Amino acid sequence: MEEQGTDLANRLLFFELEWLALEEGAAQSLLREPALAPYRHYLETLRRFAPHKLSEPEEKIVNEKENTGRRAFGRLFSELTSGLTFPVEQDGEVRDLTLSETLACLHQADRALRRRALEALFEVLARHGLILTVTYDTLVQDHLLMDRLRRYPHPMAERHLSNEIEHEAVERMLGVAEANYGIAHDYFALKARLLGLPRLALYDQYAPVGGPLPPCTFDRARELILAAFGDFAPVFREVAEQFFSRRWIDAEIRKGKHGGAVCSRPSPALHPYILCNYTDNLRDVLTVAHELGHGLHGHFA
């Protein structure tokens, strides 16, 4: 599939490069055409990348190398971490948990369970430390190399262009966050007091305050989410209901399954799909609701 995607990208590459090569006046004239109104934002955004594009042969080489370069290392990381299991003692029995299940333990009220889960997490990851370290370092170096070849002024520049945000705005936001680190310190100090601890350990970071929350089944999550969407807009509930009834949500915990949560919108001709790892807690209810927001966006767009 990746090879087919690369072949398609290279076949369509000429359009992007020819559009970027147009003189600004000619481009603006075309953008004023009513027939291009639905594509205006996309075309305008493309032109922002004009100073950073390579020649057509060079761009094709970059596309071809992605499958054995950056993309391959990303796949290695994903498949390695998805296949790992972590031995954690629960209720007197040692169970081999997936990464998603192990991380969910860090949100439990049982402090001893949280500690065991974190120790198992670190122990198993340490066995694969060399692969994970080389993978991360390779991806960083690849990013820096492409930034240099594409003449980006700093490592965040490409992301800022994609997000349509100015570098100065991001720097200002980061500066404000750094200037207020004390708020985070105060929060964790307060949390330690509420938990009756002299100091928080790393495995206490996500501990619930006020006692354990009852489990929330996926069926109950469905009820809560659809009710919330219906209160906001009935049409949102109608569309969200299709994700559940037509099984467009893969929420089951399985060994070897990709961790985390994501909404995939492969094509305007196809409905979105949601991948998540549901572990019967309120945090996962919010995750499914969040991804459904992306799903609704993809549906209506």
pLDDT of residue 194: 96
Q: Which amino acid is at 225?
A: I
Q: What is the pLDDT along the chain (301 residues), one digit of tens a residue?
A: 788 889 889 999 999 999 999 999 999 999 999 999 999 999 999 999 999 999 999 999 999 999 999 999 999 999 999 999 999 999 999 999 999 999 999 999 999 999 999 999 999 999 999 999 999 999 999 999 999 999 999 999 999 999 999 999 999 999 999 999 999 999 999 999 999 999 999 999 999 998 788 899 999 999 999 999 999 999 999 999 999 999 999 999 998 898 899 999 988 888 999 999 999 999 999 999 999 999 999 999 8
Residue 65's nearest CA partner among 164, 169, 145, 170 is 145
Task: State how far the Cα of 206 lies from the Cα of 261, in Å rounded to an integer.
Answer: 18
What's the Cα-to-Cα distance from 130 to each of 87, 123, 127, 267, 300, rounded to whole Å? 21, 13, 8, 37, 44
pLDDT of residue 1: 79
pLDDT of residue 2: 82
Residue 102's nearest CA partner among 118, 91, 82, 126 is 118
pLDDT of residue 125: 98
Task: Measure the N-to-C terminal CA separation of the chain; round to a whole number of Å.
Answer: 25
Output the pTM of the full model.
0.86
